[in-house]
A and B are shown apart, each in its own frame.
Chain A
Amino acid sequence: MRLIAPLTARLPPALRTPRAGTALAFAAALALPFIGRNGAFTNFLADAGAFVLLALGLNIVVGFAGLLDLGYAAFFAIGSYSYAMLASPQFGIHLPFWVLLFVASAIAAIFGILLGAPTLRLRGDYLAIVTLGFGEIVPQTFLNLSQWTGGPNGIGSLDQPVLFGYRFGFNPLPYYLMVLGLIALAAWLANNLRTSRLGRAWMAIREDELAAAHMGINTTSTKLAAFAMGASFSGLAGCALASKLQLVSPDQFMFNVSVFVLAMLVLGGMGNIPGVIVGSLILSALERFILPQTTNFMHNVGLNVDLTNSRFLIYGVILVTMMLFRPEGLIPSRQRKAELHAGQADRRAAAAEGELLTEVIH
């Protein structure tokens, strides 16, 4: 918030509320493709939007409930393949897109519970390792079940969404507007969950699982709810992106996707919804525009450096830099900030202790 405070300070007070900020951001996002009127840019926005959905979903698991999931792309894959199998010539099934949007996110949520259940007793590093395993197993399974999934070729010719007789076709604009609608829905849902009873239970588990159990929180069902909610968002993203690309294949869902989405959270600010959206957009823009353009520029000035090939190195540098200088992310949540600046807090606590010893409290 510190980052945008100087910008917002000039606005009239009515526009400084979170609600006004959200409305402004949404209006800007809505206007964006019409200002540029650039097909490639709109195409980018639609793809980046799907990753915003993914980041919002992973934020529930990692940011809210504190369960480090390194295999989140598995649920993205499950959502995408659900759409691909039920809306393509693969089995000759052609269910409507809008129905499948719910079906795919429900299927992803069920797998969230199925894959979450065996990990319930694990936390920290061990949880990360098991989810990493799931993230590997799922695309491998789609790769090897070739009689149903088309193996390495994947499934093509997916149906395009149709809304009131309007066929989305190959123009990225309707996909972008749809994804924007889904983001609005997902962000609204995530924000309500955050302040709900369930959200408080997630944060209690993130802070101290033992204490959460002492409070009467059912840690099993609460953690499974986080996996299910997070996965359901990736089902939406999978459906949206698969229908736009009209193709799914296992290589879209490899480990690098899980890490890419996690990096969005780290960059933007884990647990903070606007932060996560901003982090996601920055990394998508870096991937699609900034690195290729910079490479082009360098070629033009005669430097033979290809930054797109070393993009993981660059992400790595960004993450390390963030960890060193701003570990709470660009737009941090209140609690992450407190946690990561605990050194200062400890000094305050020590001071308070000293003060207490010298006075009677009751």
Chain B
Amino acid sequence: MLLEIENLVARYGRITALNGISLTVGEGEIVTLIGANGAGKTTTLRAISGLVRPASGSIRFDGREIDRLAPSEIVRAGIGHAPEGRHVFPRMTVRENLELGAYTRRVRSEIADETARVLDIFPRLKERYAQKAGTMSGGEQQMLAIGRAMMSRPRLLLLDEPSLGLSPKLVQTIFVVIREINARGTTILLIEQNARQALAVASRGYVLEVGSIAHSGAASSLAASEAVRAAYLGGAA
């Protein structure tokens, strides 16, 4: 397994956000984590990235304990994270944003290769290459956030609500891109409120309910499960 989380507990002060969750992501998979607001989805990703310190439990990446590493070391270890709400650098150009995505990398030719790959996946970013990120549309900013996270050439890409706030057409585009990034060899852990789309693109899924994993299994069986359908897929599928 590329990523193994065991009994992860995370707290904000006295509030328990994650109450002992366990999940795994295998090399080459797309795994999705779905659940209601406040279930702990974002906290899980932030714990993997080292931005939230787990109270207990372990996170192993490629067999190595990473739960005590600094966020910068986790990026170097091979985990890229496109955060919720995009968080692009608004006053910097697309180019400068991508360059910062490659901050942990030193070899110029590799950075150039990576930039070419990202621009190949997102032709729109090529058109906007010299434009300030803050002046772009939400969809373009989301593409930039994903592209920027790919610049560190992660083995595991964490995507937090990539379709949030986008028009239906753009949501389609984002999911096509997620599939494409995965097809090119990057493992993906995807958080989505758009459960139907997420389960369609993922091979396996986990359902988080108030800090615990309520259901897990193959994406197709989760999508067919009555409990999941009732709670997250709005009944009729």
Contacts and interface: CB of A to CB of B under 8 A. Distances in A.
Nearest to A360: B169
B64 interface: no
A346 B135 CA distance: 6
A204 B100 contact: yes
Interface in A163-217: 197, 200-201, 203-204, 207-208, 210-217
Interface residues of A, number: 32
Interface in A323-362: 335, 338-339, 342, 345-346, 348-349, 352-353, 355-357, 360-362
A8 interface: no
A321 interface: no
Interface stretch (B20-28, B85-93, B222-230): B85-93
A214 B89 contact: no
Contacts of A217: 72, 100, 103
Given A203-B92, A361-B124, A362-B173, A213 B138 contact: no
Given A214-B81, A352-B140, A361-B139, A338 B91 contact: yes
Given A207-B89, A356-B170, A361-B170, A345 B135 contact: yes
A266 to B, nearest CB: 18
A270 to B, nearest CB: 13
- Looking at B51, B70, B76, the one whose CB has the most chain A CB atoms below 10 A away is B70
A178 B123 CA distance: 53
Chain B: interface size category: 35 or more
Given A213-B51, A357-B169, A204 B72 contact: no
Given A345-B135, A349-B136, A361-B139, A215 B100 contact: yes
A207 B91 contact: yes
Interface in B96-139: 96, 99-101, 103-104, 123-124, 132, 134-139
A215 B101 contact: yes
A231 B186 CA distance: 44
B140 A356 contact: yes
B83 to A, nearest CB: 6
B87 A211 contact: yes
A201 B100 CA distance: 8
B136 to A, nearest CB: 6
B148 interface: yes
B205 to A, nearest CB: 24
10 contacts: A197-B103, A200-B103, A204-B103, A215-B103, A216-B74, A217-B72, A356-B170, A357-B167, A357-B169, A361-B123
